């Protein structure tokens, strides 16, 4: 199974990624982890990426894509892989498609988890962090125990303003990749408005 996982922030991609990687015994490729691994291994591409990061710049798309192609060529990806967090824009998706074709690699599915913006805002703004343990709670779905309710905090990234800014960025930059993959016939949509186990069941149905 060779797939790309797409969805807005707060849609539950992290939870479903864990399930899918285990279900299909495939490698989970997060671009952030991939970049860090290439830098630590001292690969030629890693050295190039490191020079950009040390200068405080973004790693160019063509370099990231080259690293993706290098990564999926490793032995642990022979049974498949999941790309998580890339591509983030339509130009990235188009460029990645060209390089995958050159490498003779065909995607099986681009899985989109759909959740309405207002529900995502409710999910994210309701999250609370226990600064002592790092445990995450939710004021509606998983309230903190009474003895620590007074010490949990809301992270800066979990405010409504921050959440809506991330959603706006997703809709303007990442959502345009959806019609690109839909036109190729690889896109599968799943309603993510449910408990994690139910969303996993829906994904299983969609993927067959």
Give the residue numbers marked as catalytic: 13, 88, 127, 155, 166
Three-state SS annotation for the chain = CEEEEECCCCCCHHHHHHHHHHHHCCEEEEHHHHHHHHHHHCCHHHHHHHHHHHCCCCCCHHHHHHHHHHHHCCHHHCCCEEEECCCCCHHHHHHHHHHHHHCCCCCCEEEEEECCHHHHHHHHHCEEECCCCCCEEECCCECCCCCCCCCCECCHHHCHHHHHHHHHHHHHHHCCHHHHHHHHCCEEEEECCCCHHHHHHHHHHHHC
């Amino acid at each position: 199974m060779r797939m790309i996982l797409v969805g807005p922030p707060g849609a539950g991609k992290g939870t479903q990624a864990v399930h899918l990687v285990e279900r299909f015994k495939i490698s989970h490729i997060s671009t952030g982890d991939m970049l860090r691994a290439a830098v630590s291994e001292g690969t030629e591409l890693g050295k190039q990426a490191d020079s950009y990061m040390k200068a405080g710049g973004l790693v160019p798309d063509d370099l990231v894509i080259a690293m993706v192609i290098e990564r999926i060529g490793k032995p642990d990806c022979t049974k498949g892989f999941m790309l998580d967090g890339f591509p983030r824009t339509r130009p990235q998706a188009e460029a990645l498609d060209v390089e995958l074709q050159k490498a003779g690699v065909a995607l099986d599915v681009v899985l989109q988890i759909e959740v309405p913006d207002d529900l995502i805002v409710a999910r994210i703004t309701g999250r609370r962090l226990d600064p002592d343990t790092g445990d995450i709670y939710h004021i509606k779905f998983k309230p903190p125990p009474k003895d620590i309710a007074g010490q949990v905090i809301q992270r800066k990234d979990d405010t409504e303003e921050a959440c809506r800014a991330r959603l706006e960025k997703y809709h303007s930059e990442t959502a345009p990749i959806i019609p690109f993959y839909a036109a190729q016939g690889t896109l599968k949509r799943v309603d993510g408005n449910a408990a994690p186990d139910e969303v996993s069941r829906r994904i299983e149905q969609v993927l067959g």
